[in-house]
């Protein structure tokens, strides 16, 4: 429960999204996946396109689009921002889809992610990732140097249920032995992370690194490094 100061009290477990919250797109892997097409994406343009692409994705989730349609719509906008010619985007989308299923494209730790997890762990919180993924998110987190700080990783592909379905959050809580009222869930896409957490009875925290949702109706932080002060003693 949030106090008048904004601090959330009574927290024993912190659930976190993976991509966009703890790990970012790895520009080197992105470039390697597109190399067969001779495409060299512009990293700065890609980062500028992230905010609008995420706003689109949030709306698409609410409209119930299929996973591949969501992927193509999101990455199509990211690639356009990265300077990829429109006529080459369909082929690029196919390469990225396969590359992510094979090795994972989100493998770069978000700045401050490891330090934040270490602080939360030292303070006694149980830590779990709850992610919509393709079966590889634990390997992504390990490659990013974060897995050793987590008690649990719940990958939607492996448990057969995905955000925003509250059942995926209950999987994490049951395994941690923590009731919903004693947990927060931290993520970057409201339709998945805010609505899903609330449906499970968990307090949501929105990470809005791109200033995409300034009017969010839940606790909102700009950087993951702000999280310990929000939930800590």
- For 115-137, write each residue's pLDDT tens digit: 999 999 999 999 999 999 989 99
pLDDT at position 142 is 96
Selected residue with higher pLDDT from 187 and 40? 187
Of 104, 139, 167, the position where a domain reaches its end is 104
Structure tokens given for 158: 């492996």
Of 208, 177, 225, the residue nearest 13 (C-alpha): 177
Domain assignment of residue 220, yes or no? yes
Query: Are residues 146 and 67 part of one domain?
Result: no
Domain assignment of residue 3, yes or no? no
pLDDT at position 19 is 95
107 preceded by cis ω (within 30°)? no
Domain assignment of residue 38, yes or no? yes
Q: Give the pLDDT mean for 198-213.
A: 96
Q: In this predicted model, what pLDDT tens digit does every residue of 157-191 receive, in sequence order? A: 999 999 999 999 999 999 999 999 999 999 999 99
164 preceded by cis ω (within 30°)? yes
Report CA-CA distances (Å) from 159 to 68, 131, 167, 169.
19, 11, 10, 11
Q: In this predicted model, what pLDDT tens digit does every residue of 64-111 receive, in sequence order? A: 999 899 999 999 999 999 999 999 999 999 999 999 888 889 999 999
Query: Are residues 129 and 90 part of one domain?
Result: no
pLDDT at position 102 is 85
* 233 pLDDT more than 80: no
Structural domain boundaries enclosing 176:
13-23+107-231
Q: For residue 193, give every residue at least 6 positions away whose Cβ sits within 8 Å of its Cβ, in sequence order, or none.
A: 17, 163, 164, 185, 186, 187, 204, 206
Please state, in angstroms and rounded to a whole number, the distance separating the CA atoms of residues 25 and 127. Answer: 22
Length of the chain in terms of residues written: 233
Query: Are residues 152 and 46 part of one domain?
Result: no
Query: Are residues 126 and 196 part of one domain?
Result: yes
| HSE value, Cβ hemisphere, 13 Å, CA-based, for 93 | 18
* 220 pLDDT more than 70: yes
Task: List, in sequence order, every beta strand (DSSP E) within the chain.
Answer: 13-16, 23-25, 106-109, 126-131, 152-155, 183-187, 203-207, 220-221
If DSSP codes are grouped into helix, strand and coil, which group holds residue 8? strand
Of 88, 104, 120, the position where a domain reaches its end is 104
pLDDT at position 184 is 98
Q: Angle between the 43-63 and 27-34 helix axes, to the nearest 10 degrees? A: 90
Q: Where does 85-185 have alpha helices with state H?
A: 89-102, 113-122, 137-143, 156-159, 166-176
* 58 pLDDT more than 90: yes
Query: Are residues 143 and 51 part of one domain?
Result: no
Contact (CB, 8 A) for 187 and 207: yes
CATH of the domain at 134: 3.40.50.1000
Q: Give the pLDDT mean for 202-227.
A: 96
Of 104, 124, 143, the position where a domain reaches its end is 104
Query: Are residues 143 and 93 part of one domain?
Result: no
Is the whole model's pTM more than 0.75, yes or no?
A: yes
* 2 pLDDT more than 90: no
What is the count of structural domains for the chain? Answer: 2
pLDDT at position 232 is 79
Query: Are residues 127 and 156 part of one domain?
Result: yes
CATH of the domain at 81: 1.10.150
What whole-number percentage of the chain has pLDDT above 70?
98
Please state, in angstroms and rounded to a whole number, the distance separating the CA atoms of residues 103 and 199. Answer: 32
């Amino acid at each position: 429960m949030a106090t008048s100061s904004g601090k959330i009290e009574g927290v024993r477990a912190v659930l976190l999204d993976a991509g966009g919250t703890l790990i970012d797109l790895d520009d080197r892997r992105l470039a390697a996946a597109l190399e067969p097409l001779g495409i060299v994406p512009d990293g700065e343009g890609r980062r500028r396109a992230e905010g609008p692409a995420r706003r689109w994705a949030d709306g698409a989730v609410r409209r119930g689009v299929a996973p591949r349609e969501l992927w193509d719509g999101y990455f199509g906008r990211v690639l356009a921002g990265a300077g990829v010619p429109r006529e080459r985007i369909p082929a690029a989308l196919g390469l990225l889809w396969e590359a992510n299923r094979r090795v994972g494209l989100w493998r770069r730790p978000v700045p401050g992610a490891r330090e934040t997890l270490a602080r939360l762990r030292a303070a006694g919180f149980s830590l779990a990732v709850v992610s919509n993924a393709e079966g590889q998110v634990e390997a992504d987190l390990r490659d990013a140097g974060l897995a050793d700080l987590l008690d649990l990783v719940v990958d939607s592909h492996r448990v057969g249920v995905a955000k925003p379905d509250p059942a995926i959050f209950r999987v994490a809580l049951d395994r941690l032995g923590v009731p919903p009222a004693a947990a927060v869930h931290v993520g970057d896409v409201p339709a998945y992370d805010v609505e899903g957490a609330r449906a499970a009875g968990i307090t949501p925290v929105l990470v809005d690194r791109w200033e995409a949702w300034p009017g969010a109706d839940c606790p909102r932080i700009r950087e993951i490094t702000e999280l310990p002060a929000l939930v800590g003693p």
